[in-house]
Amino acid sequence: MRDPATPIPVKERSGRRTPLTRLIVAMLGLGLSGVLMSCGGDSSNTADAGTSISPQVVAVDTVNPRHPGATLYSDQCSQCHNGNGSGNPQLRAPSLTTLDSWYVERQLTYFRDGLRGNHPEDTHGQIMAAASAKLSDDDITLLANYVDELPALPVSATLSGDLKLGKDYHLNLCAACHGSDGLGNEALSAPALAGINDWYLVSQYEHFRGGRRGTHPDDPWGAQMYRLAPAIPEDVVISIASYQATLPVND
């Protein structure tokens, strides 16, 4: 297993364009470069929170090239989420390394089948929906299993919320489903929050609040977050995400 502290080299690639690369090029041709800020996130909330995001190199190598899902991951995911799954905030592509296979599989299926990324104001979710459109069930399972085996990596804090306030809310609200350690609970269909970028947590919470996520009738788990979201003010959400960014990851 590669040492998470060792940088993953950028691998020389051929001129062949993958489906996701072709999608990005097409969007640039339409003058939609601002859309390329995510594979699911939202830039506006991060900017409002006064976040400064450092440039990151997009590594297109893969951590586990012998895995049956490695080629598919390299073609479909690594351009935005990096070869090691660490994500790229410039593209608003979150870290994936603490997500379990069951959650990744569900979300990719949701994107593919129109349960997520179908709201007209969720432009970044629409990128994921387009990139997932031609994935088969077997493809999704391979990708989910590949992501599940990535070494867990910590994330850097980009928000400056009240950590004490965030901890109180996390322990008294979020932990009931996501665990006090933030590592999630499959029995409750609650994904990991530890190891997920703070800016991405805020953007998704605001998507739930704004009805851009969790409103599809076939998404009962998203509906729970949609109903909860209005109860927490935006500044408190920033504090919660700031605290969750400090939680240790489990590998």
Instruction: Compute the distance between CA of residue 234 and CA of residue 36 in angstroms, rounded to an integer.
Output: 25
H-helix or E-strand containing 152? none
pTM: 0.77
Alpha carbon 110 to chain centroid, angstroms: 14
Helix axes 19-29, 123-132, angle to 10 degrees: 140
Q: Tell me the CATH number for domain 19-148.
A: 1.10.760.10
For the domain bounded by 163-244, which CATH number is listed? Answer: 1.10.760.10
Contact partners, residue 90, CB within 8 Å, separation at least 6 = 37, 53, 55, 56
**pLDDT < 70 regions, the chain:** 1-61, 251
Closest by Cα among 191, 105, 173, 104 to 182 = 191
> Boundaries of CATH 1.10.760.10 in the chain?
19-148, 163-244
Dist CA 171 CA 243 (whole Å): 10
Which pair of tokens denotes residue 86? 């660490």
List pLDDT tens digits, range 50-104.
444 444 444 446 788 899 999 999 999 999 999 999 999 999 999 999 999 999 9
